[in-house]
Amino acid sequence: MANQSPETGTRSEDVLAAAGIVVTPEGKARARERLRAADQRWTTELRDELRAQIGLPARAA
């Protein structure tokens, strides 16, 4: 979360702190784990089903 915005050069953590949101190492670890778990749920079949549902063509292999 310490990445700087290319538009403003502002660190993400600084923006969150200004909004009253405290970023901790433990919170970062939990967020990474949640993102990893969500990514694992997105199977090829689920992606294909969603693309069909919203009317997008199938992806090329």
The overall pTM is greater than 0.75: no
pLDDT number for residue 4: 61
Contacts of 57 (CB under 8 A, 6+ apart): 51
Contacts of 15 (CB under 8 A, 6+ apart): 5
CA–CA dist 50, 48 (Å, integer): 5
CB 47 within 8 Å of CB 57? no
Quick one: DSSP state of residue 45?
H
pLDDT number for residue 1: 46
pLDDT number for residue 26: 95
Dump pLDDT digits (tens) for 10-58. 788 888 999 999 999 999 999 999 999 999 998 989 988 989 999 988 7
CB 34 within 8 Å of CB 26? no
